Amino acid sequence: MPLVTSKDMFKKAYEGGYAIGAFNVNNMEIIQGITEAAKEENAPLILQVSAGARKYANHTYLVKLVEAAIHETGLPICLHLDHGDSFEQCKSCIDGGFTSVMIDGSHHSFEENIEVTKKVVEYAHARGVVVEAELGKLAGIEDAVNVSEKDAAFTDPNQVEEFVTKTGVDSLAIAIGTSHGAYKFKGAAQLRFDILEEIQKRLPGYPIVLHGASSVIPEYVDMINQFGGQMPGAKGVPEDMLRKAASMAVCKINIDSDLRLAMTATIRKYFAENPSHFDPRQYLGPARTAIKDLVRHKLVHVLGCSGKA
Ligand code: G3H
Ligand code: 13P
Ligand code: ZN
């Protein structure tokens, strides 16, 4: 089976009230851990590659590793550029075999965001590739920030119809309070489900994307701290909130930090218990298994996409 786009995946996910996991990949063990979990759960998958991942692992290596995963699993897998920052970067991934790209124009003005997104959409659609854009600014939105600044970062539901109509974009990432990384909330987690609901009303049937959606699983943070790490105050999006989002218009949930935590916690523990070992397979093997266990958990208990491939 060749790489697929996310079009059918999103249609079924929207109708079925679940979401597709979009997991960031940077090397072979991460790709193997994720795809082995998806195979066991018979789940559709989006594997996404950031600019940093392309720089670290090389575009061709990542494409070939993902192709190898399709060969091994027979699963529908979509290969997506995460946070593309320019038309050129998106073009390079489209020309290089990706089936989906994100153009992240969220740092531009509304008009410039429309302009660059439209340009990417025209190029991508002519080549059978789908496009995700972002409206609103995802950030570390904290309790301490005053309300007007805080609201300014959220996606404005009044803008979504115009944005989607003018650009023709296939899915939209929105800002409702999630943020990237392992330190998302100081106090209790808060997501603006009212904004999501309003956007869903304005764009019925249209797939919404949630970035910054790691739960920052406490067991892994504790393990990191137990074995010499220092991650006080790390906090993510509670799983019940993600399940709720998945039952609404959210069809794609982005997860990277949880994978990093699972891998790092496992490797820290391994070296604490086996200080004389030095064969990379001895610590990367358990790290790969930790990724697999984590992804199975997400597919079954958070995304609800087990059995949907
Ligand atoms: O949203 C960002 C992803 O977690 C990718 O992170 O740019 O460090 O690869 P990265
Ligand atoms: P996390 O940092 O919450 O895993 O978010 C990842 C992400 O949004 C990738 O685009
Ligand atoms: Zn993101």
Mutate to test the pocket of ligand 2, among 106, 211, 242 (most ligand atoms within 8 A of CB): 211
Cβ contacts of 108 within 8 Å, gap of 6 or more: 116
Nearest CA, atom 5, ligand 1: 50
239-277 per-residue burial string, b: 16 or more CB within 10 A, e: under 16: eebbbebbebbbbbbbbbbbbbbbbbbbbbbbeeeeeee
Model confidence at 261: pLDDT above 80: yes
Q: CA nearest 212: which of 189, 188, 187? A: 189
Residue 62, classed as helix, strand or coil, is: helix
Sequence spans of domains, the chain: 7-303
Model confidence at 147: pLDDT above 50: no
Which tens digit of pLDDT belongs to each residue from 198-244? 999 999 999 999 999 999 999 999 999 999 999 999 999 999 999 99
Atom of ligand 2 nearest to the CA of 256: 4
The CATH-assigned architecture of domain 7-303 is Alpha-Beta Barrel (3.20)
Which tens digit of pLDDT belongs to each residue from 125-146? 999 999 999 999 886 544 455 4
Predicted structure pTM score: 0.96
Q: Work out the average pLDDT over 36-63.
A: 98
Model confidence at 105: pLDDT above 50: yes
180 lines ligand 1 (CB under 6 A): yes
6 lines ligand 2 (CB under 6 A): no
Q: pLDDT > 90: what percent of the chain?
A: 92
Q: Work out the average pLDDT over 243-252.
A: 98
Atom of ligand 2 nearest to the CA of 24: 9
C-alpha 145/C-alpha 88 separation (Å) is: 35
Q: Work out the average pLDDT over 19-41.
A: 98
Over the chain, what is the mean pLDDT? Answer: 95
Nearest CA, atom 3, ligand 2: 212
C-alpha 214/C-alpha 257 separation (Å) is: 6
Strands (E) located in 179-258: 208-210, 250-255
Which tens digit of pLDDT belongs to each residue from 110-130? 999 999 999 999 999 999 999
Q: Work out the average pLDDT over 16-35.
A: 98
Residues annotated as catalytic are 82
284-299 per-residue burial string, b: 16 or more CB within 10 A, e: under 16: beebbbbbbebbbbbb
Atom of ligand 2 nearest to the CA of 182: 2
Nearest CA, atom 1, ligand 2: 212
Chain centre distance of CA 299? 13
Q: CA nearest 176: which of 150, 202, 203, 158? A: 150
Residue 216, classed as helix, strand or coil, is: coil
